[in-house]
Every structure is written in C-alpha cells, then in structure tokens.
C-alpha cells in the first residue's frame, strides 16, 4: 500500500506535468564534472523547446549544438557532428526521451524510461531525485536530479550522474514561454 507521502509526491509530479510550459526559450549553463579534473568544463548557450522538439545552441563553445526532433538526435561538438543511434533499446533513445520529458515535466515518464526510483523534496522548488542501481558495465544514469520552479513549473536545473561518478549540471534561466520559436532551430544544419 502506498504511503501518504507517495500520494503527495505523485500529485506534485502530475501537477507539474499538467502545467509545465510546452514552449520555452531560455539561457543555459552546462557544467561537466569529470573525475581527475579540478574544475568543471563549462559551456553555455540558448535552449529552445516546443512540441517535443529541443535544441541547445551553444555560444561557448560557439558552433556546438544538440538537436532533438521526432526522428533525430544530433550533436556537434568541436566541429564534429554525430547523429546518435535512437533505435529501440539504445542508450541514446533513453537520453533523448529523458531530455524531452524533463522539458515536458513528465517526471513519472522519466522514472519509467530510466527504470529509476523516484523521491521528492520541496526545497523552495519541486525537487525530484531519480536513482537506479546500475549493473557493472550497464550504461545510463545512476542518478538524475530535477528542480522545477514552484510557481511556473519550469525546469530550472537538471543534474545527470553517470555510473562512474562523472556528472553534468544544467542550469536554465531567463526563460520566456510566450516568444515565437523558429522551427528551423530544430533542424540539423546541412554542414
């Protein structure tokens, strides 16, 4: 039998899913913390989300991008473009779905997609922690921490922790949920 706390957590998760903006433009900062490095690798740029499409266009380093649309998951890093495998069962399909669901506020969907256990805390915002025991050699995230604004239901930070302890923190700010978004931002450049 589920506890009263579990019912309350599910109610908050459902509220976020129902009210999370489905069109967002915001600035983001990405910090990658890698074992053996004293300082994180910091990147930044502008994030666009609309109708299940997501694009991150980096200004630091300029020219990098990440594009998710229904049929593609493409990244360009330091001039090298990679079209990621999003066939059923692939780790990149799980990542693609996780990123989109984070923007949609679909916390239960993220837990299901990642086979993770979900906990909730109200720390001035709605904070969800998803954890998964990864088997040796298994790919995926051991922990995902998501923070949503308590009033706007916008995601404000996301932390993705890998099994090896490396982790990436994304912080979103200066969000606009009413601006028109050019659909070309979700298309992969020809070059």
**180 domain-assigned:** no
Res 6: pLDDT: 56
Res 30: pLDDT: 97
Res 184: pLDDT: 94
How many CA atoms lie within 13 Å of 44's alpha carbon, on the beta-carbon side? 8
Residue 46 in contact with residue 69, Cβ under 8 Å? no
Residue 98 in contact with residue 106, Cβ under 8 Å? no
**108 domain-assigned:** yes
**67 domain-assigned:** yes
**21 domain-assigned:** yes
Res 190: pLDDT: 83
Res 8: pLDDT: 59
CATH number at residue 87: 2.50.20.10
- Please compute Rg for the chain using Cα positions: 16
**188 domain-assigned:** no
**178 domain-assigned:** no
Q: DSSP readout, 31-99?
A: EEE-TT-SS-EEEEEEEEEETTEEEEEEEETEEEEEEEETTEEEEEETTEEEE---STT-HHHHHHHHH
**150 domain-assigned:** yes
**52 domain-assigned:** yes
- Residue that has been written with the tokens 């300029």 in this structure: 62
The count of structural domains within the chain is: 1
**In which residue ranges of the chain is pLDDT below 70?**
1-8, 191
Say how far apart CA 70 and CA 53 lie, in whole Å: 7
Res 123: pLDDT: 77
Res 36: pLDDT: 87
* Residue 138 structural domain: 12-173
């Amino acid at each position: 039998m589920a506890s009263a706390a579990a019912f309350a957590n599910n109610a908050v998760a459902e509220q976020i899913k129902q009210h999370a903006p489905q069109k967002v433009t915001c600035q983001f900062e990405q910090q990658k913390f890698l074992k053996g490095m004293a300082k994180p690798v910091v990147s930044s740029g502008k994030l666009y989300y609309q109708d299940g499409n997501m694009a991150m266009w980096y200004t630091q380093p300029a020219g990098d991008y990440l594009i998710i649309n229904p049929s593609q998951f493409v990244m360009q890093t330091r001039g090298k473009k990679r079209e990621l495998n999003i066939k059923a069962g692939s780790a990149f399909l799980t990542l693609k779905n996780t990123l989109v669901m984070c923007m949609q506020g679909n916390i239960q969907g993220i837990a299901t997609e990642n086979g993770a256990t979900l906990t909730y805390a109200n720390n001035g915002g709605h904070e969800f922690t998803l954890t998964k025991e990864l088997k040796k050699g298994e790919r995926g995230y051991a922990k995902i921490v998501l923070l949503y604004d308590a009033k706007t239901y916008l995601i404000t930070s996301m932390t993705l922790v890998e099994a090896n302890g490396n982790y990436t923190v994304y912080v979103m700010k200066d969000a606009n949920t009413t601006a028109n978004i050019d659909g070309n931002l979700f298309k992969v450049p020809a070059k």
